[in-house]
Structure 1
Amino acid sequence: MAITGSDPSSGSSSKDERAFDQWRRTAAAITGLGLTPEEAKIRQQNRNEKILNAQRQQCLLWRNDLLRQSPAVTFMTQHIGQQGISVDASNIVCRPCNKERSGGFSPGLQEVLLCQDGFHSKKHMEDTLVHELIHLYDHAKFKVDWNDLRHVACSEIRAANLSGDCKWDRELMRRGILGFTKHHQVCVRRRATLSVAQHPACKSEEDAKRAVNEAWESCIGDTRPFDEIY
């Protein structure tokens, strides 16, 4: 009589296959090799989310520290407050941008943007934050028309001049530029022109240069609310 039944090794074989498949998936998740296109897409999305979250947490930590401890940031927030606009963590936001910028200012929202993916150090963030707070100060005190390139140029001149954006070490280490004769003013003019050129109302680099030239004399010497260049 024939005897039928299961192969005693089949359970072990099935268990080994499951274990191997689990190992394969784990190895693929770590190395990215052997993933299906859909699995690779999910893996990349998860990595991007982790990077963005880490950048955001670092940005928030530095922002909060600067609001508490930075003399320049505290000075600016106090003087903006005297103009009737309160500045705190609610209107200084961390968001991803791109590698071409580190911050921004929205007149309509009265909000400062810190680009969470744009900072090399807390000091870099401090200079950027002071720069954008100068725009907010100008907005509150001088009623800037942000559609007028000369008004924009004046605020950009002041921000580049007063924020630390044109300190020689930042120029050298971040931009590879080393100047001697009138280094600071050359940098301020260049940085202001670059910023004005990015304005939606600016049609060309020549328009940006013209606006900076027209605003230069009346704005380069205006250090308010500082007594001198920061």
Structure 2
Amino acid sequence: MSSQDSSSSSSPTPSSSDNSIFKRWSRTFGVITGVGMTEEERRSELEAHHGRTCETWKREMMNYSPSVVFMLKHLKMSGCPVAPEHIVCAPCDFSRSGGFSPQAGAIVMCQGKFFNKRHMEDTLVHELVHMYDHCKFKVDWNDLRHHACSEIRANSLSGDCRYMRELRRGFPSFSKQHQACVRRRAVLSVRANPACPDEATAERAVNEVWESCFNDTRPFDEIY
């Protein structure tokens, strides 16, 4: 047998690239099905996957999302530039998809809590509106009227109250759907404020500032 024949009849050796692809595929398969992994390993790998996805989407949005880039521009113009480290991807409880910490001057994106990339984009814009209000208007978050105003603006301007988003939440409506969504979500957020004693107080705070704050679309020219 010639050396050429011997070479052609031998089994091909998998390349390091093939092995790497296979390992990634096996890991992904394990995360989805649980096969070959302990429950703890699966949870850990799934959390790491959510973290990588959140960080990737965050970078893309800060560079290419028209609404996010617009908000970042106006925050910088207001004297509060936002760097990537001011937007943190982290695990959260089941009740939220994002949050703004006035004390830390940072936004938390709740990795693994987004239906899709658009949902994360809307959440980020929502929190950037809070950050903008805090920077430009010196919001006192213990003042329920201040809090209510920022919640009205953030829910209205971010895309949180689009019709399909409300339908997913189980709130179909054909009459003043946007306003109803903004009002409902603002009341829920104000009610969660430790300074708020009950739902009636939250509703009153939202009602007192509704007209002026709903009509205030800064820094946008109109509702996004």
Q: Where does structure 1 lack aligned partners over 5 or more consecutive residues?
A: 1-28, 33-42
**Counterpart of 2:108 in 1: which secondary structure?**
strand
* CA apart distance, 1:31: 6.8
Please show how residues 25-104 of structure 1 align to structure 2 within 5 Å.
Answer: 30=35, 43-104=38-99
Deviation at 1:127, TM superposition (A): 0.3
Instruction: Give the Cα separation in 2 of the matches to 1:229 and 1:31.
Output: 49
Matched with 1:211 is: 205
Aligned to 2:139: 144
Moved over 3 A (4+): 29-32
State the shift of 1:44 in Å: 2.8
Shift of 1:104: 0.2
Structure 1 letter corresponding to 2:108: L
Q: Give the Cα–Cα distance (whole angstroms) in 2 for the partners of residues 139 and 93 of structure 1.
A: 18
Cα offset, 1:98, TM superposition: 2.1
Letter of the 2:186 partner, please give it: A
Give, in angstroms, the shift of residue 141 of structure 1.
Answer: 0.5
Tell me the CA shift for residue 133 of structure 1: 0.1
1:128 aligned partner: 123
The equivalent position to 2:106 in structure 1, one of 83, 88, 111, is: 111
**Do 1:127 and 1:164's aligned partners in 2 also have CA atoms closer than 8 Å?**
yes
Distance 1:53 1:138, change over 3 A: same
Which of 1 and 2 has greater Rg? 1
CA distance in 1, matches of 2:84, 2:202: 32
TM-score by length of 1: 0.80
Partner AA of 1:169 in structure 2: M
Aligned-partner residue type, residue 217 of structure 1: E
Quick one: distance in 1 between partners of 2:125 and 2:60? Answer: 14
Moved more, 83-92 or 145-154: 83-92
Contact 1:98 1:118 in 2 (8 A): no
SS in 1 for 2:217: coil
User: Which residue in the other structure is 2:184 paired with?
Assistant: 190
Q: CA deviation at 1:182?
A: 1.2
The letter of the residue matching 1:221 is N
Offset, 1:117: 2.2
Tell me the percent identity: 55
Shift of 1:208: 1.1
1:119-164 per-residue CA deviation (whole Å, 9 max, x = no partner) reads 0100000000000000000001000001111100000000011000
Distance in 1 (alpha carbons) for counterparts of 2:35 and 2:121: 37
- Kindly state the Cα deviation for residue 30 of structure 1 after the two structures are TM-superposed: 4.4
Structure 1 counterpart of 2:121, one-letter code:
E
Q: Secondary structure at the match of 1:93?
A: strand
The equivalent of 1:169 in structure 2 is 164
1:169 Cα offset (Å): 1.3
Other structure's SS at 1:184 match:
helix
Q: SS at 1:150's partner residue?
A: helix
Return the offset for 1:113.
Answer: 0.7
Deviation at 1:45, TM superposition (A): 2.4
Amino acid at match of 2:119: H
RMSD over aligned Cα, in angstroms? Answer: 1.4
SS at match of 1:119: coil
Distance 1:83 1:146 in 2: 19
Give TM-score, length-normalised by structure 2.
0.82
